[in-house]
Amino acid sequence: MTDQNNPNKRWLQWLIPGLGVKRWFGLLLAGAALIGLGFAMLLVEFYRLRPSPLWSYALQIARLPLWVMAILAGLGGLGLTILSAIRINRAILAPLELDSDEILSAMRQHRQRQRGPRIVAIGGGTGMPTLLSGLKEYTSNLTAIVTVADDGGSSGKLRAALGVLPPGDFRNNLAALARDQGLMTQLFQYRFGEGDLEGHSFGNLFITAMSGITGSFEQALVESSRVLAIRGQVLPSTTEHVTLMAELRELNSQGMRRVSGESAIPHSQGRIDRVFLQPDDAPAFPDARRAILGADLIVIGPGSLFTSILPNLLVRDIARALRASKAVKVYVCNVATQAGETEGFSVLDHVRAIERHVGERLFEHVLYNTQHLPLPADSKTVFVQPDDDGLRPDLTLHGHPLVDTDRPWRHDSGRLARAVIKLLKEARQPLQPVLTEVQQ
């Protein structure tokens, strides 16, 4: 008989530390004991006031000392309490069709994630959901801070027609943080392929409708999080309607021109000199600022440098909170350069572009990919190359193989999450016991 099928072994698993069960089971026993004690004292008092020949006769038949009878009664009560707890447990789990081992595993993992580090991810686009889907296995204390500058595709249409904040990046990150990738998550990501709704995803429409029902975009995110039962929270960097602007340097001249709109910037001919927000004084969403100040780890990226990451950092209160935070701060560089934004950029070129916009020493660690897998002959992917030319002494580079072997131009969520957790573990020794437990 295996340990898994042995009933004694299975029940012993409930004694594993950290499940949060034993304390309540002990409290149940203490409560039952107090009830029994109170009832016994009541009987004794009643017997003293009104002695009954029947009671005296029963005690004479037992011919046992009072302390022995008390122990027997206590053991009987304990047995009945345990039996009732077991039967109640079975009665509750039976309709759910859940095995005791599944419950134990889920409870253990839930408790471990609750005690996990407080991690804030800042970005947008397709990069951050990849990071979040890996990190949610280590901690439930996750906060995604997402740009609101998106104005393309379904999000742009809804933003222009209804005046809501663009829901697309929020939808993707909510889906990435969902407890499981079940039918509801698939429904949230479903995109209509024809008719008047062509190009719209169900999740975008859902969040937009929820904004109308609840009266605010941020409350719509809260309600959508409940629907998907996500691990963590998704917040906007600002709730102001901002437009991302760019100044581009002409390729064949020294002239400069201005481009308006996040979706238009990568497709404009020219090299991006700088990006900025209009209005440029948009206040940060208060919960986003609080999450940054209370974090153990802040991860910037991965994602489009100029159109997903910088729009968050250009919100001045977000940058101020980053500088004030005592968290470990790491920038995750993209695996490959991006057409229209970062052609020819090295790892440190990405860092310099951020510092040129928001100043130096925003983060002290840079995580980059070292694995460059073979690509198809017709592929236009160019891997970002590492370099240390002009590396500041206060900046530390961390190279790891981070690519998805099936899509080598993107990060692998599991590899990226492990590298981030390892970096935090090395940087913050006081958190090491918690992180080690979470990794097991």
In the chain, what are the domain boundaries? 7-108, 115-148+281-439
Query: Which residues have CB under 8 Å from 14's CB, separation 6+?
Result: 21, 22, 25, 104
pLDDT at 77: 73
**Does 95 or 236 have the greater pLDDT score?**
236
- Bridge partner residues of 383 (DSSP): 336
Whether the Cβ atoms of residue 416 and residue 332 lie closer than 8 Å to each other = yes
pLDDT at 236: 96
Amino acid identity at 438: V
Residue 103 CA to residue 96 CA, distance in Å, equals: 11
Whether the Cβ atoms of residue 147 and residue 123 lie closer than 8 Å to each other = yes
In the predicted structure, residue 13 carries a pLDDT above the cut 60: no
pLDDT at 437: 41
| Cα 35 to the center of its chain, rounded Å | 44
Whether the Cβ atoms of residue 431 and residue 425 lie closer than 8 Å to each other = yes
pLDDT at 83: 73
Lowest mean pLDDT: which of 150-154, 235-239, 251-255? 251-255
pLDDT class for 24, splitting at 50, 70, 90? low
In the predicted structure, residue 229 carries a pLDDT above the cut 90: no
| Structure confidence by residue, pLDDT tens digits, 289-341 | 999 999 999 999 899 999 999 999 999 999 999 999 999 999 999 999 998 89
Domain 115-148+281-439, CATH homologous superfamily name and number: CofD-like domains (3.40.50.10680)
Query: Which residues have CB under 8 Å from 316's CB, separation 6+?
Result: 280, 281, 284
Question: How would DSSP label each residue in 343-371?
Answer: TT--HHHHHHHHHHHH-S-S-SEEEEE--
| Structure confidence by residue, pLDDT tens digits, 352-406 | 999 999 999 899 999 999 999 988 888 888 999 998 888 888 899 999 999 999 9
Specify the 3-state DSSP secondary structure of 294: coil
Residues counted in the chain: 440
Nearest to 348 by CA among 360, 340, 63, 49: 360
60, 78, 79, 100, 248 from 10: Cα distances, Å: 44, 20, 18, 8, 65
- The two tokens of residue 178 are 């969902």
- CA-CA-CA-CA dihedral for 106, 107, 108, 110, to nearest 10: 80
pLDDT at 391: 84
Whether the Cβ atoms of residue 381 and residue 404 lie closer than 8 Å to each other = no
Lowest mean pLDDT: which of 100-104, 237-241, 332-336, 339-343? 100-104
pLDDT class for 164, splitting at 50, 70, 90? very high
Whether the Cβ atoms of residue 269 and residue 256 lie closer than 8 Å to each other = no
pLDDT class for 16, splitting at 50, 70, 90? low
In the predicted structure, residue 438 carries a pLDDT above the cut 50: no
Amino acid identity at 416: L
In the predicted structure, residue 429 carries a pLDDT above the cut 70: no
Question: How would DSSP label each residue in 315-330?
Answer: SHHHHHHHHH--SEEE
In the predicted structure, residue 166 carries a pLDDT above the cut 60: yes
pLDDT at 431: 43
Whether a cis peptide bond, with omega within 30° of 0, leads into 302 is: yes
| Structure confidence by residue, pLDDT tens digits, 177-223 | 988 777 778 888 899 988 888 889 999 999 999 999 999 999 999 99
Percent above pLDDT 70 for the chain: 76
pTM: 0.77
Of 3-17, 99-113, 278-292, the range with the highest mean pLDDT is: 278-292
Residue 270 CA to residue 253 CA, distance in Å, equals: 10
- The two tokens of residue 229 are 């039962």
What is the 8-class DSSP label of residue 307? Answer: I
For the beta carbon of residue 50, count every other beta carbon within 10 angstroms: 8
Mean pLDDT taken over the chain: 83
